[in-house]
């Protein structure tokens, strides 16, 4: 387990880039944290780094899933916040995502036991001074 303190969005992006350098097809990253703690900023930095593009990376809160292509694999960016049951994740193609690409999953608790045991867990916590405590467990 590693703990990072981020004082800015750019520091969160640097962490995202370091983690992006370690992923391969089949990697799953579960992003835990309340609203506004940096999950989407992390995702944006991760995706833009791997796609070599400043592509717009909106939070997929309303669409539930956004996909992005890299040279080696697709990135599946899930936001499970609005799921009513874990089974709804099957309709989003989560099984294909887990086997064919790299998955970034915001609100992973919503999919329960569908989240494979072998994943990277990243927890974002707001600190009183406005910084973020980011804990990474691999």
- Write down the pLDDT at residue 61: 66
As a whole-number percent, the residues of the chain with pLDDT over 90 amount to: 87
Q: Which domains does the chain have, with CATH numbers?
A: 2-137 (3.40.50.300)
Sort 10 into a burial class: Cβ within 10 Å, 0-12 / 13-18 / 19+: exposed
Residues in CB range of 122: below 8 A, 6 or more apart:
19, 29, 30, 31, 32, 42, 134, 135, 136, 137
What's the distance, Cα to Cα, between the start and end of the chain in Å?
Answer: 7
Q: Using an 8 Å Cβ cutoff, are 102 and 73 in contact?
A: yes
Is residue 10's pLDDT more than 70?
Answer: yes
To the question of pTM greater than 0.85 for the whole model, the response is: yes
Report the length, in residues, of the chain: 138
pLDDT digits (tens, 9 = 90+) for 47-90: 999 999 887 776 766 778 999 999 999 999 999 999 999 999 99
């Amino acid at each position: 387990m590693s703990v990072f303190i981020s004082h800015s969005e750019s520091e969160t992006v640097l962490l995202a880039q370091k983690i992006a350098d370690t992923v391969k097809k089949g990697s799953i990253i579960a992003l835990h944290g309340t609203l506004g703690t940096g999950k989407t900023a992390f995702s944006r930095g991760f995706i833009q780094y791997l796609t070599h593009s400043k592509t717009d990376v909106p939070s997929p809160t309303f669409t539930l899933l956004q996909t992005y292509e890299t040279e080696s694999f697709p990135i599946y960016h899930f936001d499970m916040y609005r799921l009513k049951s874990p089974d709804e994740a099957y309709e989003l193609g989560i099984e294909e995502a887990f086997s064919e690409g790299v998955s970034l999953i915001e609100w992973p608790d919503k999919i329960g036991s569908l989240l494979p045991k072998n994943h990277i867990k990243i927890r974002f916590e707001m600190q009183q001074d406005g910084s973020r405590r980011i804990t990474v467990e691999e």
